Amino acid sequence: MADDGYRQPAFDAQVLQRILDGRYAAVRDLVRDNLVEHAQVLDDADMMPREEFRERVREIVGLIAATGQAGYGFPEKYGGGGDIGASVAAFETLGFGDLSVLVKVGVQFGLFGGAVLQLGTESHHDAYLEDLISGRVLGCFAMTETGHGSDVQSLETTATFDAATDEFVLHTPTESGRKDYIGNAARHAELAVVFAQLEIAEESHGVHAFVVPIRRDGQPAPGVTISDCGDKLGLQGVDNGRLSFDRVRVPRTALLNRFADVTAAGRYESEIENSNRRFFTMLGTLIQGRVCVGGAGLSAAKVALAIAIRYADTRRQFRTAEDQPEQLLLDYGIHQRRLLPLLARTYVLHCAQEVVAGRLHDVFTDGADERTRRALESRAAGTKALATWHATWTIQECREACGGAGYLSVNRFAALKADTDVFTTFEGDNHVLLQLVAKGLLTDYSSDFSDLDQLGMVRFVAGLAVDGVLERLNAHKLLERVRDLLPGGDEWDQEAGLLDSNYQLAMLEFRESHSVAGVARRLKRGIDLGMEPGEVFSRVQDHVIFAARAHVERLVLMAAVEKFQALPDGAEKVAFGLMVDLHALTEIERDRAWFMEHGRLTTQRSKAISREVNDLCRKVRPLAVDLVAAFGVPDAMLRAEILGEQAS
Amino acid sequence: MADDGYRQPAFDAQVLQRILDGRYAAVRDLVRDNLVEHAQVLDDADMMPREEFRERVREIVGLIAATGQAGYGFPEKYGGGGDIGASVAAFETLGFGDLSVLVKVGVQFGLFGGAVLQLGTESHHDAYLEDLISGRVLGCFAMTETGHGSDVQSLETTATFDAATDEFVLHTPTESGRKDYIGNAARHAELAVVFAQLEIAEESHGVHAFVVPIRRDGQPAPGVTISDCGDKLGLQGVDNGRLSFDRVRVPRTALLNRFADVTAAGRYESEIENSNRRFFTMLGTLIQGRVCVGGAGLSAAKVALAIAIRYADTRRQFRTAEDQPEQLLLDYGIHQRRLLPLLARTYVLHCAQEVVAGRLHDVFTDGADERTRRALESRAAGTKALATWHATWTIQECREACGGAGYLSVNRFAALKADTDVFTTFEGDNHVLLQLVAKGLLTDYSSDFSDLDQLGMVRFVAGLAVDGVLERLNAHKLLERVRDLLPGGDEWDQEAGLLDSNYQLAMLEFRESHSVAGVARRLKRGIDLGMEPGEVFSRVQDHVIFAARAHVERLVLMAAVEKFQALPDGAEKVAFGLMVDLHALTEIERDRAWFMEHGRLTTQRSKAISREVNDLCRKVRPLAVDLVAAFGVPDAMLRAEILGEQAS
């Protein structure tokens, strides 16, 4: 390696951990302690039959509730902590442990509790919050149906107002209208927040949420049919079930009425006139779940990396010279290439997650205008998609990097793989979430989000927005801005140093602007040619997803660059900077074909980027064990037997 | 779509299935019938506790043995079928069903039976084959140790000859020398083929195989310690265990002595003088396992595609127009992009697998020179790597494409994911296998394979072979050849039609030649600069893997093109051709950055390839359900509950 002034940083993993832990270090440490105290659950997950393990998980959720750790996000008045940021930090950290526990906590306190808190009003809060925060009453979140998951505006369950008795009648009209995959429903929930089409005098007002008792003394309530989803790929400790309602009556006050209400006379009242907008405003209050899932996915990836990198630093295989010991796996170039960019991306996504969690806290604590809320929802959606795909990929690569040992349950990957697998499709399918991101980009978050689907997007773009989109994303202005930041004038992308973060960001920003504008043009052209909107959308859809992803990747890198710039000088900053550079160049390398196709990368420079990625991997290699140590995964959560063995 | 003369083929899925089934259609149908008869095992895998399921799998393996289906590869004299190709076809088809059954069959008849057959001589055949083919005696294959998996020449278990008693003494000297992950060992095997360092009078002769009784009447034999690997990520029906030997004595005749023997006087005799070469000759006889695992991985991918594509053709979500029904998932462009190239690659890999299985049959039936054997070993290794990675990726994508429904065990992905996961690292870690491929390329299969590892490769290249490698791979000659085949003279790569298979193959051939030559040059340069061989190798390793993969990808495409060309004209050929084109262009698209970097793709043509891939996806879409039907996966093996439901 040429002497480029680089000196290997001698950094302190604990100092770096405090940097990563950020504002809620104390909360994270409390959760770490609780995880270690209940570490036995990792074994129980392997050993216990399903029903027994479900009870065990319920028990732990109760114990966790008793520590106060699960209630951070609720008002202090009801025994909560009154700190949304703390509740996200606690949930993320819980992701180091058994993920059935995590998801059951998420269902109870995030989905069920969050719906009561956000969609209900004081009478609901008074009635339910204290009991649900303490874990005395368990509930579930009954939105998804067998027939509709992504398209929740098309749910079939009905809630018909009966003025004669002042009640709503909840009903499942068809097989495809049964509630499905509902966590906590098969065994433990007494209450459900049920999403249903509100109907008054044969007029539909769209989807609303109702608190419905579904179980009494362990038995289904009258009119409620409950069945069990049975074995799943993972998360066996969560009792997912199905709910059907046969004309189940609840009082009028069961409507969670923060955004809309029905009077005793049967008049429908809401401050939000447009029914779609009302629905998406309601949904928007529930985005904490998405933020939490993304963060938990990253925690699972951290566990996998901690095991695989520590293993690779002790496991030896093959000699490279007769008189040498066998070589450590992590000294192989291909092993570095497989694991270290994933480590870097985990650091960078951690920063992006921190920004999203911080904004969530601010918006829900201090309030915000609608555009800010929409932008946050979009960012939460995109970050969740990238973080959970990253988790799936990272855990897979780490398993393979540990070979046969990685296949044994005792080494943790089995549970990590199985339990996280659904993260990419629950709390919003990742592809659908990226479409939501694209929608926000194309409409500049100014739309009332009246149509989440492709029809709405196509129609919107066809109608009016293209010029606005193009102007807003004017690549010309971007290039001017970049010229000011980077040397090289019009040749900025050929002259700037590869490790200049302005260059890295400019590349991702160019890709974003160019691809979003391209999507707008293509949609417009299709409509102008008179094609069916559905056909237009289907043809452009891969481009739509690409553009959304390009946008989120830029936000992700920017979050890490800003965190880096704010760090005090020192060895920790140098190490952190290596992570940012390695990630940024790996991302440009991954998509280098696109940059070449669009004139922003010469073939020579493209090859230089690949060489730089290899150089960075070699620089990171001696730091890798400390870099995973800084994630602060408790040793008891690694469990991995392979780490306890000396290399042969 | 422009009228390019394309007419949608009205093909018969059953006719196409016969084309795919090939020579062994009758064998495959027999196995299909057996699978359907025992379809209950798919439920049992979910419902039964581990120990009970292990016994259930053992029972089914016995029933399978009774049909003769497991014995195709053994001599008729002992009750076998005398047809190696049939045995591979049977095993591949078994991959549609429960994979614990598959792997247990593989351990018993492939690994254990194969070792006795290939490494033993008549006395061993007489003693064991009939009982093992019938399933009366179960055995295991004890090669891997805790400390050594990929580097099997460094195994620590010893077999010391004791002339006084005419016995070998098997011994496990260290903790890392215990046999590990051994299928059939924890519960059922009575015999083990144990690989150990043969020592006579303190002289080591390298690794040899011995038949060792490890269990009598269900109890470990004296001196043998057996433990259980416990829960695994998947394959719970296979009893993987650990074996340690404390000076266990076996008669001299326990040595499987086809390639080397020890006389009563303690003289070591072998027709192969070089000990490394002898070892790799022994290993080379066992490659059927690798061929089988690759084929089984493809079968699992076929099951996943059959479920996901049929589901996508019935499941609807979101309207694209007010007056239309909701749109089928498979009509979404992104859904086509996610699934259909995987379908195409499965077709193409099927053809590559057919070639490898055919050559295996020929080489092991008729014999072959050493170079041919080495080339087959290399091809089997490479095809296994690509097929098993493809399986992992395909099953993951199919699971996500089925959303929450895909996460339920009843819909089959849970088992497919968990059970196939280890395919990428057992029977040879895929990265190590690709290094083996690279070794063969660099040495033109003329090496005695005396060093499987990187040290040997570096040393070899440093010493003498670079000029030979470069001459052999002369890109100039390749380009001349291509010019003759394709229009456009020196501009062949810019002028040829994208759907011309000569163009597609020339691109993959160029990539292969160029990258192999590049590896040779880089290794040579590193050595010339005086770097440590290990350091040189580590730096070039990603390039080594890339070159090996490029080679195998070319072979894979060529197998499919040749199969296509040999088909009679008709609708089936047209449909098959779409698969080959879609795969070839997807592969070029995936690596388009490399082709641009190396001057073989303009940015305009690169974009045209992406458009063509999208066009091909739209052409394949209406055929997709029939194309998966042609895999011939019995409906009972799909199990998937989601396919039984009407779209909402």
pLDDT above 60: residue B396: yes
Q: Nearest Cα to A33, choosing from A73, A67, A84?
A: A67
CA-based nearest residue in chain B for residue A642: B146
Using the beta-carbon criterion (under 8 Å), do A533 and B599 form an inter-chain contact?
no
CATH 2.40.110.10 region(s) of chain B? 139-277
CA–CA dist A502, A478 (Å, integer): 12
Chain B nearest C-alpha distance from A400 (Å): 6
Who among A232, A453, A540 is closest to B407 (CB)? A232
- A599 contacts B596? CB cut-off 8 A: no
Report the pLDDT value the prediction gives residue B309, as an integer from 0 to 100: 98
Q: Where are the alpha helices (DSSP H) in A187-313?
A: 275-284, 288-312
Determine the distance in angstroms separating the CA of A153 from the nearest CA of chain B, rounded to an integer. 9
Mean pLDDT of B495-499: 90
Q: Which residue of chain B is at minimal alpha-carbon distance from A416?
A: B233
- Say yes or no for a CB contact (<8 Å) between B233 and A149: no
Give the one of B414, B425, B455 whose C-beta lies nearest to A404's C-beta: B425
Strands B191-200 and B158-162, bridge-based pairing: parallel
**Contact check, Cβ <8 Å, A333/B542:** yes
Average pLDDT, chain B: 92
pLDDT for A648 equals 29
Give the minimum alpha-carbon distance from A83 to chain B in angstroms, rounded to a whole number.
32
Pairwise CA distance, residues B615 & B204, whole Å: 62
- Cα of B646 to nearest chain A Cα, Å: 9
Task: Report the gap between the CA of B603 and the closest CA in chain A (Å).
Answer: 5
* Tokens found for residue A473: 């994303």
- CA-wise closest residue to A378 among A195, A114, A555: A555
- Interchain pair A230, B425: CB under 8 A: no
Amino acid B467: pLDDT: 72
CA distance B91 to chain A (A): 22
Tokens 């009332």 locate to A448
CA distances from A4 to A619, B470, B584, B620 (A): 12, 34, 42, 53
At B490, the amino acid letter reads D
- Could you tell me the two tokens for A313? 């630093």
Report which residue type is found at B395: I
Per-residue pLDDT reduced to its tens digit, B275-328: 888 998 999 999 999 999 999 999 999 999 999 999 999 999 888 777 888 999
Q: In this predicted complex, what is the ipTM?
A: 0.94
In chain B, residues with a C-beta closer than 8 Å to the C-beta of A392 are: 396
Contacts of B403 in chain A (CB under 8 A): 149-150, 425, 429
Chain A CA closest to residue B147: A648
> Mind telling me how many Å the CA of B163 is from chain A's nearest CA?
31
In this structure, are residues B334 and A431 in contact, taking their beta carbons and an 8 Å threshold? yes
Provide the token pair at A186.
């098969």
Nearest residue in B to A415, CA atom: B233
Contact list in B for residue A46 (CB cut-off 8 A) is 230-231
Q: From the list A334, A454, A597, which residue is nearest B320 (CB)?
A: A454
Minimal Cβ distance to A648: which of B148, B532, B541 = B148
**DSSP secondary structure string, A563-577?**
HHHHSPSSHHHHHHH
- Minimum CA–CA partner of A434 in chain B: B334
Under an 8 A CB cutoff, do A614 and B533 touch? no
- Architecture of the domain whose range is B13-134: Orthogonal Bundle (1.10)
- Comparing alpha-carbon positions, the chain A residue that sits nearest to B49 is A49
User: What pLDDT score does A490 carry?
Assistant: 72
Residue B625 has pLDDT above 90, yes or no: yes
The conformation of residue B221, written as its DSSP 8-state character, comes to: P
Smallest Cα distance from B508 to chain A, Å: 17
For residue B323 the two structure tokens come to: 């007056």
Query: In terms of CA atoms, which chain B residue is nearest residue A603?
Result: B597
- Proportion of chain B above pLDDT 90, given as a percent: 79
- Residues of B in Cβ contact (< 8 Å) with A424: 400
Residues of A in contact with B149 (CB under 8 A): 317, 403-404
- pLDDT surpassing 90 at residue B192: yes
Confidence of residue B443 (pLDDT cuts 50, 70, 90): confident
DSSP B70: T
Task: Suggest the residue from A152, A317, A592 to mutate for an interface test with chain B (most B CBs closer than 10 A).
Answer: A317
pTM above 0.90, yes or no: yes
**Residue B170's Cα: distance from chain center in Å?**
32
Diameter over CA atoms, chain B = 92
Of B406, B421, B426, the CB nearest to A399: B421
Instruction: Average the pLDDT over each of A491-495, B247-251, B469-473 and give the range with the smallest value.
Output: B469-473
B418–A414: do the CB atoms touch at under 8 Å? yes
DSSP-assigned letters across all residues of B425-461:
TSSS-HHHHHHHHHHHHHHTT-S-----SHHHHHHHI
Phi-psi sector, A349: left (phi>0), alpha (psi -120 to 50), beta? alpha
CA–CA separation, B116 vs B71, rounded Å? 13
The shortest C-alpha distance from A151 to chain B (Å) reads 6
Architecture of domain A139-277: Beta Barrel (2.40)
| Nearest neighbour of A603 by CB, restricted to B429, B597, B645 | B597
CB-CB contact of A411 with A641 (8 Å): yes
Q: Which residue among A146, A232, A648 places its CB closest to the CB of B414?
A: A232
Q: In chain B, where does the domain assigned CATH 1.10.540.10 lie?
A: 13-134
Contacts of B47 in chain A (CB under 8 A): 231
CA distance A371 to chain B (A): 25
Q: Residue A333's closest chain B neighbor by CA?
A: B538
Write out the two tokens for A432: 């659908």
pLDDT at B463 over 70: no
Task: Tell if the CB–CB gap between B151 and A317 is shorter than 8 Å.
Answer: yes
Inspect the interface and report whether the beta carbons of B399 and A233 lie closer than 8 Å: yes
Nearest Cα of chain B lies from the Cα of A337 at a distance, in angstroms, of 8
Q: Select from A421, A533, A593 the Cβ nearest to the Cβ of B596.
A: A593
Residues of B in contact with A421 (CB under 8 A): 399, 407, 417
For residue A324, the chain B residues in CB contact (below 8 A) are 534
Question: Do residue A233 and residue B409 have CB atoms under 8 angstroms apart?
Answer: yes
For chain A, which residues score pLDDT lower than 70?
Answer: 1-4, 446-455, 462-465, 474-476, 644-648
User: Do A333 and B538 count as a contact with CB atoms less than 8 A apart?
Assistant: yes
Tokens of A94: 């819980």
CATH class for the region spanning A288-318+325-635? mainly alpha
What average pLDDT does the segment B431-454 reach?
A: 77
